[in-house]
Amino acid sequence: MNAQMFNSLINGLGVPATHLRAVDGEATDIAKAVSQSIGRAEEALVNSYGVDGRKVHVRASDLPLPPEKFDIFIIGSQRISVIDVQPKLEVGTGIVLGYQCFGKGTA
CATH topology of domain 3-106: Thrombin, subunit H (2.40.10)
Q: Does residue 107 register a pLDDT over 80?
A: no
- pLDDT tens by residue, 2-31: 899 999 999 999 999 999 999 999 999 999
Stretch 90-103: mean pLDDT, rounded?
A: 94
- For 80, residues 6+ apart whose C-beta sits below 8 A from its C-beta are 35, 54, 56, 72, 73, 74, 101, 103, 104, 105, 106
With 80 as the cut, is the pLDDT of residue 49 above it?
no
Q: Would you list the domain boundaries of the chain?
A: 3-106
- The pTM assigned to this predicted structure is 0.88
Return d(Cα 56, Cα 34) in angstroms, integer. 5
Q: What are phi and psi of 9, to 5 degrees?
A: -60, -50
Q: Mean pLDDT over residues 64-81, rounded?
A: 95
Q: How much is the pLDDT for 2?
A: 87
